[in-house]
Amino acid sequence: MGDFRMPSLGADMEHGKMVEWLIKPGDYVHRGDVVAVVDTDKTVMDVESFEEGVVAELLVDVGTTVPIGTPLARITQTPDDGAGQAGGRPAGPLAKAASGTAEAAVTAGAVEPAGAAAAAAQVPPPVRHLAHQLGVETAGIRGTGRHGAVTRADVEHAAAARPRPAAPAVPAAAAVHAARVPHGARVRSSPRARRLADQLGVDIGSVPGTGPDGAVTEADIQRAVSGHRAAVPAEEAPAEEAALPGAEALPPKETPPSEAQDRLSSLRRAIGALMSRSKKSIPHYYVSTTLDLRAAIAWMQQVNEQRPVASRLVPSALLLKATALAAREVPEVNGFFTDGVFRPSSSVHLGVAVALRHGGLVAPAIHDADTLALDVLMQQLRDLVSRARAGRLQRAEMADPTLTVTNLGDLGVEAVYGVIYPPQVAMVGLGKLVEQPWAHDGMLGVRPAVTATLSADHRVSDGLRGGRFLARIDELLQKPEEL
Amino acid sequence: MNEQDAREAVHTAIGQVAPDVDFDGLDEGSRLRQDLELDSLDFLRLVETINEATGVDIPERDYTAVATVKGMIDYLAARG
């Protein structure tokens, strides 16, 4: 048996507020399943379970703020039960009754006879989350990733290729949705649908889903709004809304100005506290170099020319990949300084500072950025930024970047000198892309260029090593086709 | 596509990418990147959203022509 506790979602987090439970007592959760939505001072994010087992009890109510480490739910490990159920996500007694046949029908297809636990371990949380959103059962997917790990592409493929679910599963799932999902139960939906529902003030649990496995789609939300404008938010003063039947359209459920102000000031406070700690405790040094992007931009434009807009690259993707590769070669900038000791990281989890449109910023990580193909990195960057802005980041993304890149220069400045985010030991700043006069071989020409800066921890490295790191980024960008 | 349709498509797309933009006070000379604060990923999403809604593909070489709200509307009106 284990407790699911309020996790630390970043060095500056002291407490978190429970925003939404995605599980309820009786649910079976895997390690890595997204089980709750938590609000820190900085952002709202999805939190996954470290435990596997049956949810015995939820210990914290929605709306409660608790310090990190506080038990949030009790999870009972029941191996026998688990072996039978691990493939599915029974949502309660109803689904449980149906799960026998449904499981049998689904697994009859193409399930590897791998143990459920092994299969679970092979599915990274983001992929599991995606599978969950698409209503795909990961146990039935043959992984094509490293060591047979299930990748995003595998999940998407499975979702696309999936035969219509077996008969017994559908009515059960549909019935659950049609009968309005009990509050607190996981509603299958895309983040965009969820966000839209939130904006329009629609209780997503009351919307019948038409997507895979009854998932609620954006279209469903829009239909729900145009169909019956009386739809009211689940928790936000339903009486008030219902009392205005004459209102021609539901006003978007904006956060009230005072709340937005509070949020912004608490976010600024959190950033301020961490940054002053960083400046006080980390002896920063700064170096900068100008990256020649002629080759990289020319190559990217050529590639983009052949592509639909959905798969085009932006210069940031190339810069991030080159940075990640250079960080692998210069480990003094990639890792954590804790308890007086530097621990280099063997993986490069590249934190990307994302400006939130309502103010402030967060820096979630792209995991193993150095090993990702450029196109994959680009897709993950887009996904990460949109989820950061929608408040759908996950715990691991916030907690473990090993080196952070701030690309604020994208919106205007030529150079940005970052403040190191402890316990990391370096921060890379990328300025905006500018055309500048460039002397080469005794000739003057014009080249697209970006100023890259490094703020690094003098306890761990010095200017020579830091300079080497930046120079390596420049070298890597001269052969963009190899990134 | 006439100018009014193009304007509507552009407004809708901007609304999706940057929900905080206030159209009442919007000057159509506003630059998407600098004035509306769309970063390169936002801009890409805007181009993608417009492509999905109108079928008009804006290749990268034309990005300078669609740097402002007005530029984007004119571009769509001419090609949609």
Model pLDDT for residues A310-355, shown as the tens digit of each residue: 899 999 999 999 999 999 999 999 999 999 999 999 999 999 998 8
Give the global pTM. Answer: 0.61
Q: How far apart are CA A381 and CA A366, in angstroms?
A: 7
Residues of chain B below pLDDT 50:
none
Q: How far apart are CA A132 and CA A467, in angstroms?
A: 44
Any CB–CB contact under 8 A between A316 and chain B?
yes
Least confident of A117-131, A183-197, A257-271: A117-131
Write the residue in B20, B41, B48 that is nearest to A309 by C-beta: B48
**Residue A246: per-residue pLDDT:** 36
Q: Which two tokens stand for residue A32?
A: 């890595």
Q: Residue window 342-381, chain A: list those with CB within 8 Å of chain B.
A: 355, 357-358, 381
A63-72, A334-343, A358-367: which is most confident: A334-343
**ipTM metric:** 0.86
Q: Which two tokens stand for residue A458?
A: 């003098």
The burial class, CB within 10 Å (0-12 / 13-18 / 19+), for A30 is buried
Q: How far apart are CA A197 and CA A180, in angstroms?
A: 15
Q: How far apart are CA A47 and CA A38, in angstroms?
A: 7
Any CB–CB contact under 8 A between B39 and chain A?
yes
**Residue A186: per-residue pLDDT:** 54
Nearest residue in B to A355, CA atom: B39
Record: contact B20-A357, CB cut-off 8 A: yes
End-to-end CA distance of chain A: 45
Q: How far apart are CA A268 and CA A41, in angstroms?
A: 9
**Residue A133: per-residue pLDDT:** 59
CA pseudo-torsion sign A428, A431, A434, A436: negative
| Nearest-CA distance B41 → chain A (Å) | 7
**Cα angle A269, A271, A274; round to 5:** 105
The DSSP output letter for B31 is B
Q: How far apart are CA B58 and CA A129, in angstroms?
A: 33
More confident residue, A212 or A317: A317
Q: What is the mean pLDDT of chain A?
A: 75
